[in-house]
């Protein structure tokens, strides 16, 4: 009887041992990985949460811009946060530019005839958006200023007085010279300029330059016969 009980116990032990071996062979690795995954989640849940960059970049700054130009294309340069995207708005068109490692950006834009508006905002690598820059205004004007002489007339002969006054008008805010001498222009574009005639032919060379650097040249010939 004792021998039979020992044999039964031995068989039961062998069956349990084999069963445990089979269990770990088929399920042990998956079960262990689940335990490790639960431990990892528990550990990460107790770790502090990192908050990304929430500071917006400064508004883009333009380098010096002209008030007026006679070119229909203009190169714009400026600066913002390094690596940020600058969204340049010219009139109603928006162009994206990436700043370099020094925060510098550059773009070539097309201008419409007349007044053009220019502004920009930046978006950094963390998607923070800056305020919009101040709006700049640039006038594109490729038309030469017109010089109008009211008196005296070209090729006119003067007989009496050698001192005469040249009178006329020009585009307001333009500059005017006569024989390289500056002529004062009134706010409405009118001018007067006194000259002294020499006997014979007198040539007066007018040069007008507007704010966009367009030029107009004109010559006036007067004859003086005392």
CB atoms within 10 A of CB 159: 8
pLDDT tens track for 62-93:
999 999 999 999 999 999 999 999 999 999 99
What CATH number labels 148-224?
2.60.40.10
CB atoms within 10 A of CB 113: 11
Q: Does position 29 have pLDDT exceeding 80, yes or no? A: no
In percent, the amount of the chain with pLDDT more than 70 equals 77
DSSP state string for 22-52 = HHIIIIIHHHHHHHHHHHHHHHHHTSPPPP-
Give me the residue spans of the domains in the chain.
1-46, 61-140, 148-224
Peptide bond into 152 cis (omega under 30): yes
In percent, the amount of the chain with pLDDT more than 90 equals 74
Write down the architecture of domain 61-140 according to CATH. Sandwich (2.60)
Lowest mean pLDDT segment, chosen from 23-27, 105-109, 188-192: 23-27
Helix (H, G, I), strand (E, B) or coil at 192: strand
pLDDT, average across residues 138-162:
95
Model pTM? 0.67
């Amino acid at each position: 009887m004792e021998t039979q009980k020992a044999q039964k116990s031995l068989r039961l032990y062998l069956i349990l041992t084999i069963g445990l071996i089979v269990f770990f062979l088929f399920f042990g690795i998956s079960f262990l990985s689940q335990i490790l995954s639960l431990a990892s989640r528990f550990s990460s849940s107790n770790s502090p949460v990192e908050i990304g960059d929430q500071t917006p970049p400064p508004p883009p700054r333009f380098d010096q811009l002209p008030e007026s130009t006679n070119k229909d294309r203009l190169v714009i340069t400026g600066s913002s946060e390094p690596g940020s995207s600058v969204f340049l708005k010219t009139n109603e068109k928006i162009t994206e530019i990436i700043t370099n490692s020094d925060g510098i950006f550059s773009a070539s834009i097309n201008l419409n005839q007349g007044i053009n508006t220019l502004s920009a905002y930046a978006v950094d690598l963390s998607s923070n958006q800056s305020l919009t820059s101040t709006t700049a205004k640039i006038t594109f004007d490729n038309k030469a200023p017109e010089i109008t002489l009211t008196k005296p007339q070209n090729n006119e002969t003067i007989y009496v007085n050698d001192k005469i006054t040249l009178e006329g008008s020009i585009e307001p805010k333009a500059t005017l010279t006569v024989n390289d001498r500056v002529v004062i222009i009134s706010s409405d574009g009118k001018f007067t300029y006194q000259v002294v005639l020499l006997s014979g032919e007198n040539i007066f060379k007018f040069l007008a330059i507007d704010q966009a650097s367009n030029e107009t040249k004109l010559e006036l010939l007067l004859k003086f016969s005392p």
